[in-house]
Amino acid sequence: MKNFFENIKKREKIIIFLIFSFAVYCALVIGQAWDEKAHLIHGKITLDYILSFGKINNETLYRENYSTLYWSTLYLLTKIAPIKYEIQTAHL
């Protein structure tokens, strides 16, 4: 019975590895969509607003409808990575 559960854990690890490998492959191959730069700009404006505690208030279209945490975190993570891999980082 113990051997059965070890095989299941081994299969789960293999499946997780394959899914992660496929995600990395897709991030490298897909490329940039037509609206990704606009979303990164939206994330920059939102992050500036959050870090200034509301003092910098640039209005963007439908700002209240977007998830501010998602776009600002996405912008922050893409700026940590090298500019050459900005889109790949956003996809991952």
Dihedral sign computed on CA atoms, order 80, 81, 83, 86: negative
Confidence at 66, pLDDT banded by 50, 70, 90: low
Statement: the pTM of the whole predicted model exceeds 0.85: no
The domain limits of the chain are 1-30, 32-92
Q: What is the pLDDT of residues 13-28, one digit of tens each?
A: 889 899 989 988 888 8
Q: What is the DSSP string of 36-68?
A: HHHHHHHHHHHHHHHHTTTSS----TTGGGS-H
